[in-house]
A and B are shown apart, each in its own frame.
Chain A
C-alpha cells in the first residue's frame, strides 16, 4: 500500500493499490508521521502503482501538501495515470500546487 524511501531531505512515498476513503486513513497517518519526524524539503507522492483514486485522494494530497509546507517543504505528485490526473484537474489542485504538481 505504501513504501517510503527516505534520504533525509527527500522522501519518496510510492503508493499502490486503490486510493479511496478506506485506504486513505492509514496512508495519511503513516505519511504525517514521517513528515513530522524527517521534516523533508521534498515529499514525492509516486502514483505509478495506484490503479484507482477517487476524491478521497484529493483530500490526502491536499492535506499532505499542507503538512509538508508547514515544515518548510514542498510536495510533488508524479506518475499519475490519466484517470487520476483527470480527477486532480477537476479538483483544481493542479493549479493550487502548480509548480510542484507533475501529473503528465
Chain B
C-alpha cells in the first residue's frame, strides 16, 4: 500500500552550535503530531542533535554555511527527517560510521558515537556524502500506533 504524505516542514539555519538545541526542538515539535511516547520524542531529539552537531562540527569545520532540515510525516506514522549540509563531506562513510571513530582533534572530546547513537534510536539511518560538496543524513522512524488523517 502506498503511503500518503500528511505533512512536511523545512527549516534552514546557520551552522552555529546554538542551533543544535533549536533543531531538535523543531523536530520534537513536528513529531508531536503523531502522538509520540516520551521515549520516541527523546529518540528523535537525540538522533537529530547528533546529525546536526556532525554538520556543524565536521561539515562546516573550516567554513561557514547553512544546515537544512527537511521533515516529512506519512499516514502510517513514518517520520522522515533529512539533515543536509554543503560542507566538506565525509571521505570514508564506512569508517565514519564505526563506533568511536572521529576526525575531530582530541581536545574537542568528540566521542565518535554520533552515528552509533542515531542507529540505536532510529529505525533507519542513511548517509550520502561527497567530498567537498556536503553530507545528507536521512533518519526514519515509525512513531505512534495509529494511522493519521490528512487534514
Q: Which positions in A face B, CB cutoff 8 Å?
A: 18, 20-22, 24-25, 28, 52, 54-56, 58-60, 62-63, 82-83, 86-87, 90-91
Contact = CB atoms under 8 A, between A and B. Distances in A.
B56 A54 contact: no
Nearest to A82: B39
Interface in B1-43: 17-18, 20-21, 24, 39, 42-43
A28 B108 CA distance: 10
A22 B56 CA distance: 10
Consensus secondary structure, chain A interface: helix
B46 interface: yes
A21 B111 CA distance: 11
Contact of B113 (A18, A25, A28, A58): A58
The 3 closest A-B pairs by CB, nearest first: A59-B109, A22-B17, A58-B111
Contacts, number: 64
Nearest to A57: B111
Interface string B107-120: 01111011011001
A60 B57 CA distance: 16
Contact of B46 (A21, A24, A54, A91): A54
Contact of B39 (A20, A28, A83): A83
Given A21-B57, A22-B20, A87-B117, A54 B109 contact: no
A14 B136 CA distance: 36
A55 B2 CA distance: 36
A55 B116 CA distance: 9
A62 B111 CA distance: 8
Nearest to A52: B45
8 contacts: A28-B109, A52-B46, A54-B117, A55-B116, A56-B111, A86-B120, A87-B117, A90-B113
Among B43, B56, B111, B114: residue with most chain A CB under 10 A: B111
B50 interface: yes
Nearest to B18: A22
Given A20-B20, A22-B21, A63-B109, A54 B53 contact: yes
A55 B20 contact: no
Interface in B33-84: 39, 42-43, 45-46, 49-50, 53, 56-57
